[in-house]
C-alpha cells in the first residue's frame, strides 16, 4: 500500500521504542512528511530489543502450527511488502524467499503427521496460500543436498522468506539519519511522559516499547508478558543449508536460519518467563545437539553468540493495537511474529492515523481497539 506524501496531514509524532515496530513506523512516517521524535531505552544496535536477537524468519505457513489463520494472513500480506520496503532503504538488507524446509527423524513421524494436519487446516482457511509439497529422495536432494543423506523426506513450504534483522535495524537508522531524524538513545520514557509531550506539541504518540510497555498495559491486571527465547549464532563454513530449515521434535523443535557468509541463527526456546538472564546450559546443549543432528558440519562451527530475549506477548498470543487516549496508539503483542507481520501492522497503523479507518486491519483481522477505557492510562 502506498500513500501519497502530498495528501497527508503532517502532525508531529512521538515514538516510544526504536526496536522493530518503532523504527519501521518512524521511517515511513518521516518519509510521509511527519516530524518524528523517537526515544529508546537502549542503544542504536538494538541491544534491548527482541528485534536484535530474532531469527527474522518470514514463515507464515510454517507458523500455522503455533498461531491463528489471521496471523498467517498478515504474514502472507507482508512478504511482498518487505520486498518493496527493503528496496527503498539506503543500505542493503539480505532478504531471501526460497521457502522453508521441514524435517523430522523417522521416530518423530507422529509430529510430522500432526504438523501436516495443522498445515491442511490453515490451507483450507486460507486457500490462497502456496501449497506445501511433500518431498522425498531426489527432490529433497535437489532442494538441500546437505541434508539428503540424513533425512529421507520432508515438507517444503514454497515462497516463505527470511531477512537479516541486524542489517534491517541498521538500514532503518541510516534511512532516518538521511531525513535528519535522530533517536534519543538511552532515554527510557513512560506513557505519562509521552502524554505530557503530546500536551505541549499536539500530534500523535505511538507506544512501540515491546515488553517495556508492561507497566502501561495493565487492565485489569498485567496482561503483557515475556516469552523467553534463547538463540545461538554460529559461523559454520562446512554447512551449506540454503534456506530456513526446521526440525520437528516432540521436545526440542528447532529452526536453523542461514544468513550470509555461513552465519546461522539457531533457535529458539519458548519459555514462559520474563527472565532475560543468559542462555542456560540445558538450552545450549539441546539447541546445539539438535543442530548437529541436522548437519554434522555444525560440529566444527564456531559459536559467535548465545543470546536471550523475551517476546512481547498478549494473553491470546496475538498482536493488538489499542488507543488508550486520543491520538495515542499502543502497538504490541507481536510475540514470535514481529518480522513476519510488521509490514501489515505498519500499514494498518498508518491508514488509521491518516484516514481514521481500519480497512486493512479489518481485512486481516488485526485487533484494532480504538475504544478509550479511561482506566487504561
Q: Which residues bind ligand FAD (CB under 6 A)?
A: 16-22, 39-42, 46, 48-51, 53-57, 188-189, 208-210, 212, 229, 231, 267-268, 309, 311-312, 332, 334-340
Q: Which is nearer to ligand FAD, 16 or 155 (CB)?
A: 16
Q: Which is nearer to ligand FAD, 103 or 194 (CB)?
A: 194
Q: Which is nearer to ligand FAD, 21 or 349 (CB)?
A: 21
- Name the one residue in this structure whose C-alpha cell is 543423506: 149
Smallest distance, ligand FAD to C-beta of residue 138, A: 30
- Rounded to whole angstroms, the Cα distance separating 141 from 146 reads 8
Output Rg (C-alpha) for the chain, integer angstroms.
Answer: 21
Smallest distance, ligand FAD to C-beta of residue 341, A: 7
Smallest distance, ligand FAD to C-beta of residue 72, A: 12
- Distance from the Cα of residue 161 to its chain's centroid: 12
101 phi and psi angles, rounded to 5 deg? -110, 130
Smallest distance, ligand FAD to C-beta of residue 314, A: 11
Q: How far apart are the first and last CA of the chain?
A: 32
Smallest distance, ligand FAD to C-beta of residue 287, A: 11
Contacts of 92 (CB under 8 A, 6+ apart): 167, 171
Smallest distance, ligand FAD to C-beta of residue 195, A: 14
Per the CB < 8 A criterion, the answer to whether 321 and 345 are in contact is: yes
Smallest distance, ligand FAD to C-beta of residue 192, A: 11
Per the CB < 8 A criterion, the answer to whether 64 and 72 are in contact is: yes
Per the CB < 8 A criterion, the answer to whether 13 and 31 are in contact is: no
Q: Which is nearer to ligand FAD, 106 or 281 (CB)?
A: 281
Smallest distance, ligand FAD to C-beta of residue 260, A: 16
Smallest distance, ligand FAD to C-beta of residue 332, A: 6
Smallest distance, ligand FAD to C-beta of residue 357, A: 23
Q: Which is nearer to ligand FAD, 49 or 96 (CB)?
A: 49
- Rounded to whole angstroms, the Cα distance separating 123 from 51 reads 29
With 0-12 / 13-18 / 19 or more C-beta atoms within 10 angstroms meaning exposed / middle / buried, residue 124 is exposed
Q: Which is nearer to ligand FAD, 18 or 353 (CB)?
A: 18
Q: Which is nearer to ligand FAD, 34 or 337 (CB)?
A: 337
CA-to-CA separations, 64 to 40, 157, 246, in angstroms, rounded: 32, 11, 13
Per the CB < 8 A criterion, the answer to whether 154 and 133 are in contact is: no
Q: Which is nearer to ligand FAD, 55 or 143 (CB)?
A: 55
Cell numbers found for residue 27? 521511517
Amino acid at each position: 500500500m502506498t500513500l501519497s506524501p502530498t495528501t497527508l496531514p503532517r502532525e508531529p509524532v512521538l515514538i516510544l521504542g526504536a526496536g522493530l515496530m518503532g523504527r519501521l513506523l518512524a521511517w515511513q512516517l518521516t518519509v510521509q512528511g511527519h516530524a518524528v521524535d523517537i526515544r529508546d531505552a537502549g542503544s542504536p544496535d538494538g541491544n534491548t530489543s527482541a528485534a536484535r536477537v530474532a531469527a527474522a524468519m518470514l514463515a507464515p505457513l510454517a507458523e500455522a502450527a503455533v498461531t491463528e489463520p489471521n496471523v498467517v494472513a498478515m504474514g502472507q500480506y507482508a512478504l511482498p511488502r518487505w520486498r518493496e520496503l527493503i528496496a527503498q532503504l539506503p543500505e542493503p538488507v539480505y532478504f531471501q524467499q526460497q521457502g522453508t524446509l521441514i524435517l523430522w527423524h523417522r521416530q518423530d513421524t507422529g509430529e510430522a503427521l500432526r504438523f501436516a494436519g495443522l498445515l491442511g487446516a490453515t490451507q483450507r482457511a486460507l486457500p490462497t496460500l502456496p501449497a506445501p509439497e511433500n518431498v522425498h529422495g531426489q527432490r529433497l536432494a535437489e532442494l538441500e543436498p546437505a541434508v539428503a543423506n540424513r533425512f529421507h523426506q520432508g515438507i517444503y513450504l514454497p515462497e516463505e522468506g527470511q531477512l537479516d534483522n541486524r542489517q534491517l535495524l541498521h538500514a532503518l537508522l541510516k534511512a532516518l539519519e538521511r531525513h535528519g531524524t535522530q533517536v534519543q538513545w538511552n532515554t527510557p520514557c513512560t506513557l505519562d511522559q509521552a502524554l505530557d509531550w503530546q500536551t505541549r506539541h499536539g500530534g500523535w504518540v505511538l507506544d512501540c516499547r515491546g515488553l517495556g510497555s508492561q507497566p502501561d498495559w495493565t487492565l485489569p491486571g498485567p496482561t503483557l508478558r515475556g516469552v523467553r527465547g534463547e538463540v545461538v549464532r554460529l559461523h559454520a563454513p562446512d554447512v551449506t543449508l540454503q534456506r530456513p530449515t526446521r526440525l520437528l521434535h516432540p521436545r526440542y523443535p528447532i529452526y536453523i536460519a542461514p544468513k550470509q557468509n555461513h552465519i546461522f541463527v539457531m533457535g529458539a526456546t519458548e519459555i514462559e518467563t520474563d527472565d532475560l538472564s543468559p542462555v542456560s546450559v540445558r538450552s545450549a546443549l539441546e539447541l546445539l545437539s539438535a543442530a548437529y543432528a541436522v548437519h554434522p558440519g555444525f560440529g566444527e562451527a564456531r559459536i559467535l553468540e548465545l543470546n536471550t530475549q523475551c517476546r512481547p506477548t498478549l494473553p491470546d498470543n496475538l498482536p493488538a493495537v489499542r488507543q488508550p487516549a486520543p491520538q495515542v496508539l499502543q502497538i504490541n503483542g507481536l510475540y514470535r511474529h514481529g518480522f513476519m507481520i510488521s509490514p501489515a501492522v505498519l500499514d494498518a497503523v498508518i491508514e488509521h492515523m491518516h484516514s481514521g479507518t481500519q480497512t486493512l486491519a479489518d481485512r486481516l483481522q488485526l485487533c484494532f481497539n480504538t475504544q478509550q477505557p479511561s482506566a487504561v492510562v
